[in-house]
Amino acid sequence: MGFQFQAVPALAAQLTADRALSFAALGSLAGAYLLPGVVAALGSGWLGQRLGDIRTALWGLGMMTLAGVCGWLAESFGAALLWRVVAGCGAVGLNVMLTKMAADWFQDRDDLPTAMGVLVSSWPAGIALAMVVVPPVALWMGLGVAMILPAVVAGAALGLLALVWRAPPSRGGTVRTGSAGWLTRRELALVLIAGGIWALYNTSLIAVIAWTPGLLQARGVDAIAAAAAVSLIGWLAILSVAAGGWLAARSPWRDLPALACFGLSIAGYLAIIASGAAAASPWAMAAMGLVFGPAAAVIMTLPVEASRPQVRALTMGLYLAVYYLFMGVGPPMLGALRDVTGSAAAPLHAGAAMLVGCLVLWAGFRGLQRRGPETALGS
């Protein structure tokens, strides 16, 4: 998924030169991949509940493969854009189902946070792989080969998943809706809270990566130096995600790594805002990434706890729909806040506030869990 998403930005130079595409058109092709995120997540959750997880995941990979080939063959920008949306729908469906399938395998195991952390890391790993692989392929083998490569990778993944996937022994087969019905009101509330935490956490990460360079430049740091320093936040956050799962598996209280990361990251935000140009130190940026990343693995265990396994496909669809909704509205709101306040630090203040929101929602999630299914929200 990450590989196919990043293939277009990775080929920006070649596409603008050889295909006469504007940067706006390239941005549209990139954004179209995740444009249907909310609808696709809800739809794939419902479909997975009806057809089963592996069938829905294979359909998703099939859509990614077919749309990749058709987009490669498209003779107009409009057709290419349409097939990009189709590929994105398949990718979102695959994401929902893989999250559910991993949760089914590792439910009630100590290594659940580690497994979810590895799964979360696959998205940025695919993006990084595309940046390393796709441009050289275009240079050595031609733009056409580079453009069809993501579809080939998706097709190979489809065959591999169909060949190696086995349902967890405890399930004895793919869980479908059957008599499980819909989520109870308590489960629905827990899933929405968990989705809110994941959405706020990711939007906060966008805030620190996207808006810290502007703050540093406003305080006299060279633009290239500022961008290079802030990039360390992203790289170290990615590398530290799996560490969060490892820490949670060995912690006497599984929530501790996530809550500690929230607190330390809030402190990191405030330090960046207060320290001026000194915040551009590579050590400071690396430290921010290291304390930010580990929470992701633990957050991803919350939807597993939120509902019964029989409705997990719906659960993951709703959970990720909240995330995609925030990804659509969060970054523009941060930009609007910067415009309205005129302060380069305003988006970072908002990012810190989002992590405070994560702490509040986490307390609400655990409190609702303790109320029990008989009394919570009338369920």
Determine which of 142-156, 186-200, 235-249 has the lowest per-residue pLDDT on average. 235-249
CA distances to 90, 290, 302, 322, 344 from 329, rounded to whole Å, are 22, 27, 23, 11, 20
- DSSP-assigned letters across all residues of 159-222: HHHHHH----TTT-S----TT--SPPHHHHHHHHHHHHHHHHHHHHHHHHHHHHHHHHHHTT--
Looking at residue 21, its pLDDT comes to 73
67: burial class by Cβ within 10 Å (0-12, 13-18, 19+)? buried
* In contact, 356 and 169? CB cutoff 8 Å: no
- The tokens for 334 are 């941060």
Determine the average pLDDT of the residues in 65-89.
89
CA distances to 166, 170, 197 from 106, rounded to whole Å, are 13, 11, 21
Looking at residue 351, its pLDDT comes to 92
Q: Residue 180 pLDDT > 60, yes or no?
A: no
Rounded CA separation 356/358 (Å): 5
CA 223 to chain centre: 27
Residues in the chain: 379
Looking at residue 171, its pLDDT comes to 55
What digits encode the pLDDT tens for the residues 332-341?
Answer: 788 888 888 8
What digits encode the pLDDT tens for the residues 261-310?
Answer: 999 999 999 998 888 667 668 888 888 888 888 888 889 889 988 888 88
For the entire predicted model, the pTM comes to: 0.80
Q: Residue 15 pLDDT > 90, yes or no?
A: no
Looking at residue 118, its pLDDT comes to 82
Rounded CA separation 160/246 (Å): 27
Question: What does the DSSP 8-state code read for residue 26?
Answer: H
Q: Residue 141 pLDDT > 60, yes or no?
A: yes
Q: Who wins on pLDDT, 71 or 276?
A: 71
Q: Which domains does the chain have, with CATH numbers?
A: 2-164 (1.20.1250.20), 185-369 (1.20.1250.20)
- Other Cβ atoms within 10 Å of 311 Cβ, number: 23
Amino acid of residue 109: R
Looking at residue 181, its pLDDT comes to 67
Determine the average pLDDT of the residues in 360-378.
76
Q: Residue 376 pLDDT > 60, yes or no?
A: no
Q: Give the E-state strand segments of the chain in sequence order.
A: none
Rounded CA separation 45/226 (Å): 41
Rounded CA separation 165/171 (Å): 13
Q: Residue 173 pLDDT > 50, yes or no?
A: no
